[in-house]
Amino acid sequence: MQAPHTITSALADLEAGRTTSVSLVQACLDRADALDDRLGVFLHRDRDQALAAARASDALRAAGHMPRPLEGIPLGIKDIILTADAPTTGQSATRDPVPTGDAPVVARLRAAGAVMMGKTSTMEFALGFSDPEKPFPTPANPWDTDRWTGGSSSGTGSGIQAGMFLGGLGTDTAGSIRMPAAWCGVSGHKPTYGLVPRTGVLPLAWSLDHVGPLARTAEDCARILAVLAGPDDRDRSVRPAATFDLDEVRLATRGLRIGLARDPMARSTDAVQELVREAADTFAAAGAVVSEVSLPAYDEVNDSVMLGLAAEALDYHHDEVIGRWHDFGRPTRSALLTGALLSGPDYVRTLRVRRHAQRQMARLFADVDLVIGPTATQPAPALDHLDFAEVVGMLQTHYWDGTGHPALSVPMGQVDGLPVGLQIIGRPFEDATVLDAGRRWQQLTSHHEKVAPL
């Protein structure tokens, strides 16, 4: 398979008249027709609607209208994000899948000219693994269909790698953007907490949820984030002055101070550690100053995130858990039960641990501009051996949901033919620095250009 367009290259080709939105969308539809039975990317797809939106975009260009930031670009939307023209199921039998209107992030993408290709598969309410007893697909990894995509933005990550759309939306509460990005070999960015509104998104844990972009490259993620960011009067967690300027993603690498995080490295396989050290060497050769750093209260924050997540998830689903217990998948029921074991003081302590780490990280970021490390300790696990506790142990992502820092995963190489991700983290609301480091990494390497041998 030839490498699909990036969003950036597609916009250039559209502007130059080398392609049309209809051609891009049709190519994506053809890929979905050929591969989705094997990959389980979509929960809902409407080809007529997508082609109509593409034709409208092409007509605007032909009439000489100034193109909007994502004019004619096909995108996928995770199925916990509300859309007006497609059902939102949360991949759960407990939810009435009736369209109720666009979430602000979807409305902003439409206003920017993007073409919605459909709703992508997830874990039930972004929490539980797929249950074979329920009528939903189990997302498979394009690199090896016997392996998992990662979750919970599973279909978005897989669909980008498979060429079914050029980018899309995911959500991230403990790593759900960055995990499928790493294991599917694409790029995914968890924005700073408070930069992108969550209104119209089915919550997993209010104090931890983030909405953000996935795409083939960091620059593509930046283009999507520039559309998503900004205040919404229905989401008080978003800063009133929250903005993201695409032009800021043009910084210099020379002199950049990068901290190589010891804690996630120590938990990773030798092969993953070697790739991260090679990445650090690449940045150093480009002029960055790299030193090793320790992340404060690393284990305590990771535990606090997962315990707090379970408590907040149970709170949101409490009435349905009581009234519709067996409608939830088995893995979701098991995960929700963890929340029932926590007391009020336990939950408050999880918040205190996270706040302590935020203060300590502010001190660490006085000495470095970025932190890097592995996104996960190893490549994607096999589908026939998915264990929740083992998968959580593989992730090196949830620490940054607990602190709210911006975090990007980009491809950094392969282990046994499977992609693994490099994670890049920056100061709160310095998403531009994080994404620029990812852009520079992808100028220096070609890992993001590798395509799954479907």
pTM: 0.97
The confidence band for 14, taking pLDDT boundaries of 50, 70 and 90, is very high
Segment 359-387 shows an average pLDDT of 96
pLDDT tens for each residue of 62-82: 999 999 999 999 999 999 999
Segment 231-247 shows an average pLDDT of 90
With respect to residue 30, please indicate whether it lies within any of the assigned structural domains. yes
With respect to residue 454, please indicate whether it lies within any of the assigned structural domains. no
With respect to residue 331, please indicate whether it lies within any of the assigned structural domains. no
Which residue from 93, 57, 99, 56 is spatially nearest to 77, judged by alpha carbons? 99
* Mean pLDDT over each residue of the chain, to the nearest integer: 95
Predicted confidence at residue 129, as pLDDT, reads: 84
With respect to residue 2, please indicate whether it lies within any of the assigned structural domains. no
Active site residues: 78, 152, 176
Predicted confidence at residue 128, as pLDDT, reads: 83
The confidence band for 358, taking pLDDT boundaries of 50, 70 and 90, is very high
Question: What's the burial of 144, exposed, middle or buried (CB within 10 Å: 0-12/13-18/19+)?
Answer: middle
Segment 436-448 shows an average pLDDT of 96
- The torsion region of residue 337 among left (phi > 0), alpha (psi -120 to 50) and beta comes to alpha
pLDDT over 90 percentage in the chain: 91
- Mean pLDDT lowest for which of 54-68, 117-131, 365-379? 117-131
What is the domain extent for residue 441?
8-298+348-449
* pLDDT at residue 1 tops 60: no
* pLDDT at residue 159 tops 80: yes
What is the CATH number for 364?
A: 3.90.1300.10
pLDDT tens for each residue of 292-332: 999 999 999 999 999 999 999 999 999 999 999 999 999 99
CA 452 to chain CA centroid, nearest Å: 19
With respect to residue 321, please indicate whether it lies within any of the assigned structural domains. no
With respect to residue 320, please indicate whether it lies within any of the assigned structural domains. no
Report CA-CA distances (Å) from 436 to 167, 218, 440.
Answer: 18, 8, 6
With respect to residue 290, please indicate whether it lies within any of the assigned structural domains. yes
How many domains, the chain?
Answer: 1
With respect to residue 330, please indicate whether it lies within any of the assigned structural domains. no
